[in-house]
Chains A and B, each alone.
Chain A
Amino acid sequence: MTGNSGFVNYLVKRVLLGIPVLLGVSIGVFLLIKLTPGDPINAILPTQARTPANVAQVRQRLGLGEPLYVQYWSWLSNAVQGDLGYSYNRGEPVTQLILSRIWPTAQLAFIALLVALFIAIPSGVISAVYKDTFVDHFSRIIAFVGISVPAFWLGIMIILVFALFWKQLFGFALIPAGGYVPPSDSLIEWLQYVAAPGVTLGVGYAALTARMTRSTMVDVLNEEYIQTARSKGVKESVIVSIHAFRNALIPIVTVLGIQIGFLFNGSVVVEQVFQWPGIGRLLYQAVIDKDLPLIQGILLFVAAVFVVANLVVDLLYAYLDPRIKYN
């Protein structure tokens, strides 16, 4: 390892490795849509407008008569420049539709992250420190339940209890039964709307994080240097919070980053349940509408976010942990 230049080399290599994956995704996504049964003309033109002249004109405009590789190439070169084509049903550019939905999904992810940071990590650490005691068993069972409960059902149950039943019992609803208010309009109202879907999304994420935190902390607490610190008479609280936790933090951060896919999965159903206008709901609507360019665009976008997140996590890992060799 030669200091900085080693890291730069690693960075370049790692970025280059991400490119074939994204290219592969673009081919896969393109073929998936092309192989979809049914003529895209049917989705674009209403029945009454389907005159031979109109059909020929739309085919011409979309390049549908060209060979597949020509179509792929023109689609890809546009996509690289940020042009993902037009939505069939909404008449808006796909890129713009996606951009307008990122912010609401990011808000949910942020709340989910808070739940993971402030509930999951402390409970994972406590579990590891008091391994095999009642506290440990209890928090492990809670984490297991958190992983096993389907997010869409949990969301419905939260609405049922805190919006619907609450209103029947006390005359007012604790949370709204769904909908969206941007934080720029009213922070208080936003909090009321974002809390329930954010927590719903956060439960599974937090449960995974708690399990990872526990197992990492258990491993670290068994390391030799921790035993050495103990034998030197260092206070247990200092050992746990400083010696062990700081070292366990790297893999925990990694898991938080890698699980971004989990958040996307969750956002599809959670946004649907709470009528939250994010990426997940946009994808669902695109699938229902058979809006192929929009489906293509969202898949490509999600894959790009995933690849970049993995890249950032890897680089962070390499940067934080001097033991990692850049090769």
Chain B
Amino acid sequence: MTDITIDRGTMVEPLREKYNQFADTYRQLDASARISFWIVFGIVNTAIFAPILAPYDPAALHYEASLQGPTLAHPLGADLMGRDILSRLIFGTRASLAVGVVAVGIAVLIGVPLGSIAGYLGGWTDEFIMRSMDVVISIPALVLGLAIVGAIGAGLVNVIAVVAIVYSPQYARIIRGSVLSVKEEEYVEAAENTGLGNASILVKHILPNAFTPVIVQSTYHVATAIILEASLSFLGLGVQPPRPTWGMMIASGRQYLPGEWWISVFPGIAIMITVLAFNILGDGLQDEFDPRSETETGGGA
């Protein structure tokens, strides 16, 4: 790989450092994780450029193509109303990634402060926060998700909220553990002695060192969140029509089995490839950063 030379401007320097860090990490991944990285990259771009990539409008009705199998005009076939399956799959990446990435991002934003506060302050604050997290963890994700959606209603925003709530305790736990172990290190004591406030010690000295396991865990969580979203959509309680989602496509194709199998089969393959890529990438990152850590693999429903 050729090195990129960039002017040593003060603004560019941190960016360049980030790029080099990234390139280093990538170079050390094994082949399967590298392939997974490019698949994830491709899926993210598919979501962004869906309107350009999709051959048709995902909601456009082509009645003449109703329940047509794969043809040149519709490579993955069409559903009852003649909507193009390929275009709906391409637009479906948006719901999956919106829930996967945005919800897990919010879960991190909820869990990290809670875990940091718990670990750093200790005592009753710690007990209260962590026992509350135990409460959330004691109900399995899809069961809790189903009940919350049942209470507050379905829809994209609610599903994102559900996933964020369900996954945030894991980050609180990870960060708390890291904070507890880093807290004892000498440089943190040194910072305390210089009279820095609690908050700035946390942000400047503890969190940057505790963030690696969070990155690994969140990669796995994106995978499980995609399955969780698909499961809710499959049950009719996820992202609502007309937005196409993979889970809903599978559900709607069930009644046309076995004759028109393409309606249900292809979205499932899309879910599987996406989730597989995130899982293998997460595994590669875990081996890379911390070969002995015990973050959980993303198993879903």
Contact = CB atoms under 8 A, between A and B. Distances in A.
Interface in B254-284: 254, 257-258, 261, 264-265, 267-268, 271-272, 275-276, 279-280, 283
B140 to A, nearest CB: 4
Interface string B125-139: 000000110111011
Contacts of A265: 140-143, 231, 300-301
A265 B235 CA distance: 13
Interface stretch (B8-16, B71-79, B144-152): B144-152
B299 A25 contact: no
B237 interface: yes
Nearest to A165: B258
A150 B139 contact: no
A318 interface: no
A315 interface: no
Given A150-B231, A160-B261, A208-B297, A144 B150 contact: no
Given A152-B250, A283-B146, A211 B257 contact: no
B147 A287 contact: yes
Contacts of A25: 135, 138-139
Contacts of A141: 32
Given A261-B140, A269-B231, A299-B139, A156 B264 contact: yes
Contact of B142 (A149, A164, A269): A269
B298 A147 contact: yes
B56 interface: no
A156 B271 CA distance: 14
B160 interface: no
Nearest to A290: B150
Contacts of B271: 149-150, 153
Interface in A205-230: 205, 207-208, 211
Contacts of B275: 147-150
* Chain B contact residues, majority secondary structure: helix
B118 interface: no
Nearest to B268: A153
A148 B276 contact: yes
A204 B143 contact: no
A268 B139 contact: no
A21 B301 contact: no
B298 to A, nearest CB: 7
A299 B134 contact: no
Interface in B169-211: none
B231 A145 contact: no
B227 interface: yes
A295 B268 contact: no
Interface residues of A, number: 58
A306 B138 contact: yes
B301 A269 contact: yes
Given A159-B257, A204-B299, A284 B235 contact: yes
Contacts of A119: none
B164 interface: no
A3 interface: no
A20 interface: yes
B280 A144 contact: yes
B146 A157 contact: no
B231 A207 contact: no
Contacts of B237: 287
Contacts of B112: none
Given A148-B223, A290-B150, A264 B140 contact: yes
A127 interface: no
B26 interface: no
12 contacts: A32-B147, A144-B280, A147-B275, A150-B231, A160-B261, A261-B139, A264-B143, A265-B142, A265-B143, A268-B142, A298-B147, A299-B144
Interface of A: 20-22, 24-25, 28-29, 32-33, 35-37, 141, 144-145, 147-154, 156-157, 159-160, 164-165, 168, 204-205, 207-208, 211, 259, 261-262, 264-266, 268-269, 272, 280, 283-284, 286-288, 290, 295, 298-299, 302-303, 306-307
Interface of B: 32, 131-132, 134-136, 138-144, 146-153, 223, 227, 230-231, 234-235, 237, 247, 250, 254, 257-258, 261, 264-265, 267-268, 271-272, 275-276, 279-280, 283, 297-301
Given A25-B139, A265-B140, A288-B150, 7 more contacts: A24-B134, A148-B275, A150-B300, A204-B299, A208-B297, A265-B300, A295-B151
